[in-house]
Amino acid sequence: MVNLHRFANPNRFMRLSGLILPWASVVAVLTFPVGLYLALINSPPDYEQRETVRIMYIHVPAAWMALFSYTCMAAASAVALIWRHPLADLAAKSIAPVGACFTLICLVTGSLWGQPTWGTWWVWDARLTSVLILFFLFVGYMVLFDAFDDPTKGARAAGILVIVGFVFVPIIKFSVDILELRTLHQGASVSKLSAPSVHESMLWPLLVMALAYAAYFISLLLVRMRSAILAARVRSLRMMQAQRASRAAIVPERP
């Protein structure tokens, strides 16, 4: 019975998201081509990294958005656990696949950047390793969410997990830095380039791409939340119809 009323009236969210969604998706659709133009055509090759610096324009914003997604997920889960706000649960659930996709993009593009620059597909470098662990945290969240028959319970269990994970993320990052020290110590010498120092000509494509990613994130978040709300409504409608049907079967209607 809880489910019946819980999601029965997020009408305000549906109205509001219906207003924001077109704008966010228009911004995403417009900024991606502009960002691509700046990144692929209207920016100079880097002195050290040559043309491969162009991968940075889709790699770095993906890393930013991955971390941002995880932070949002933790914040939404905290709101859901403390105030039992049903929309917050839906938000956290909707963010997870988007965040996992951002980490995936970050990992694959990082690897494709590493091969021509470092001469190897994968380096156990602090940043790559911590993003890999972040990917596992996203996957763990989604799997735990799905492991429950009751979606409200799944949401709360996964929410607790994501909050614990959020506390441990800085520790993971720190320990992975130590891992990197250890490879230097053992003398495994992969000649590495420092993080690209941001030149002004690189700043604009990076910022426009980041804006495009952010708009994409918001649009998808809203679509997925609306989808989840509709799913909850479908579930409650089904339950109501089933109840009515069983009641009709027990007490035949009198003329």
Structure tokens belonging to residue 201:
């000509």
Q: Which lies closer to another protein via its Cβ, residue 59 or residue 76? A: 59
**Nearest residue to 69 via CA among 20, 9, 153, 142:** 142
Query: Can you tell me the distance from the alpha carbon of 110 to that of 218, in angstroms, rounded to the nearest whole number?
Result: 24
Q: Is 185 in the site for another protein (CB under 8 A)?
A: yes
Q: How far is the CB of 203 from another protein (least distance, A)?
A: 19
Number of Cβ within 10 Å of residue 169's Cβ equals 17
Q: How far is the CB of 236 from another protein (least distance, A)?
A: 10
Burial of 82 (0-12, 13-18, 19+ CB in 10 A): exposed
**Nearest residue to 213 via CA among 7, 29, 12, 1:** 29
Q: Is 247 in the site for another protein (CB under 8 A)?
A: no
Q: Which lies closer to another protein via its Cβ, residue 185 or residue 254? A: 185
One-letter amino acid of 212: A
Crossing angle of helices 86-118 and 126-146, in 10° steps, is: 150
Q: How far is the CB of 148 from another protein (least distance, A)?
A: 5
Angle at the Cα of 173 (from 170 to 175), degrees rounded to 5? Answer: 110
In the list 27, 34, 78, 139, the residue contacting another protein (rule: CB under 8 A) is: 139
Q: Is 18 in the site for another protein (CB under 8 A)?
A: yes
Across 95-108, b (16+ Cβ under 10 Å) vs e yields: bbbbbbbbbebbbe
In the list 160, 188, 190, 193, the residue contacting another protein (rule: CB under 8 A) is: 160
Residue ranges in 52-111 that form contacts with another protein under rule CB under 8 A: 52, 54-55, 58-59, 62, 81, 97-98, 101, 104-105, 108-109
Among 17-25, 66-74, 189-197, 200-208, the segment contacting another protein (CB under 8 A): 17-25
Q: Is 112 in the site for another protein (CB under 8 A)?
A: yes
Q: Is 4 in the site for another protein (CB under 8 A)?
A: no
Q: Is 136 in the site for another protein (CB under 8 A)?
A: yes
Q: Is 239 in the site for another protein (CB under 8 A)?
A: no
In the list 176, 208, 215, 218, the residue contacting another protein (rule: CB under 8 A) is: 176
Q: How many residues in the shown chain lie near another protein by CB under 8 A?
A: 74
**Radius of gyration for the alpha carbons in the chain, expressed in angstroms and rounded:** 23
Q: Is 44 in the site for another protein (CB under 8 A)?
A: no
Q: Is 48 in the site for another protein (CB under 8 A)?
A: no
Structure tokens belonging to residue 147:
């492991």
Q: Is 190 in the site for another protein (CB under 8 A)?
A: no
Cα–Cα distance list, 173 to 122, 166, 167, 180, 228 (Å)? 18, 11, 11, 11, 33
Q: Which lies closer to another protein via its Cβ, residue 183 or residue 207? A: 183
Q: Is 241 in the site for another protein (CB under 8 A)?
A: yes
